[in-house]
Chain A
Amino acid sequence: MEDLDAKFAALADPTRRAILARLSLGEATVNELADPFEMTQPAISQHLKVLEDAGLIVRRVEGTKRPRRLANRALEEMDQWLAMLRAAFEKNYNRLDDVLAGIDIKKKGEKR
């Protein structure tokens, strides 16, 4: 659960979401990531650290470079989580459907 908290918190920042969107297209170095955001490298590195700690991205060592890519299944886990929350809401609303059907029957009865 803590892990998921960290993931959602990491995703709460628009720059970090943009970084993930960029990484969804493929691996990128810190320089490549810093470019479109007009941010300094340390600022980008800080965001990358948050994403990495949350388990959303991973880094690879290639000489002096540390290219980042999306972690496998990182978003899948969050999707499953939202699906379960959705299921909890659905359960209530399916019951509400029955309650509403009851209200409408009562109304029709009153009209007769």
Chain B
Amino acid sequence: MSKMTLKTEGDTHLIVTRRFAASPEAVYRAHTDPELIKKWLLGPEGWSMPVCISEARPGGKIRYEWTNGKGGGFHLTGEYLELNPFSRIVHVERMHLPEPTPNNHVETRFDQDGEGTLMTLRMTLPDEKTRANMLATGMEHGMEASYVRLEQMI
């Protein structure tokens, strides 16, 4: 079963959809409660999130710090703009690599879908170049995951 879709839209959007076998409330909580976020928003195998700040209110701060436990790491900061429990979150975020990337404006929707939830992530980047760079960053992380798996195999 293919649960996830990822596609570009227009010049500046990236749309991700994913179905979950849980209520919109549970999926919403997993996106706003720092103790839950730390358990899954980790990227490649071997990475962890020792610092997770998520002040789930309009104007509240977001700060995620990732480390690979080998001296490698980076962080993300952002701000919540709108929260409609348990159906919608709007926030902005930027990666620090260590220079901050341009703001990524993200609307996340959680819609009841039968017994579960359809989540729709709509990212809006300031321009096409920024989107291309963000896609590149995602790829690097995907590649890192592949390398880590390779390390485990050999």
Residues of A that sit less than 8 Å from B by CB: 1, 4-5, 8-9, 12-13, 81-82, 84-93, 95-101, 103-104, 107
Contacts and interface: CB of A to CB of B under 8 A. Distances in A.
Interface stretch (B75-83, B87-95, B131-139): B131-139
A85 B132 contact: no
B145 A86 contact: no
B4 A89 contact: yes
A95 B42 contact: yes
A105 to B, nearest CB: 11
Given A91-B43, A95-B39, A99-B30, A84 B4 contact: no
Given A85-B6, A88-B44, A100 B27 contact: yes
A16 to B, nearest CB: 11
B26 A103 contact: yes
A101 B3 CA distance: 16
Contact of A86 (B4, B42, B43, B131): B4
A93 B135 CA distance: 18
A93 B30 contact: no
Interface of B: 3-4, 6, 8, 11, 16, 18, 20-23, 26-27, 29-30, 36, 39-45, 128-129, 131-133, 135-136, 138-139, 141-143, 145-146
Given A86-B6, A88-B141, 18 more contacts: A8-B132, A8-B135, A9-B132, A12-B128, A85-B6, A88-B43, A88-B145, A89-B4, A91-B43, A91-B44, A93-B18, A96-B20, A96-B40, A98-B39, A100-B21, A100-B30, A101-B21, A103-B30
Given A86-B6, A88-B141, A96 B30 contact: yes
Contacts of A85: 6, 135, 138-139, 142
13 contacts: A5-B136, A12-B11, A81-B135, A82-B135, A84-B142, A84-B143, A85-B6, A85-B138, A92-B43, A96-B41, A100-B26, A103-B26, A103-B36
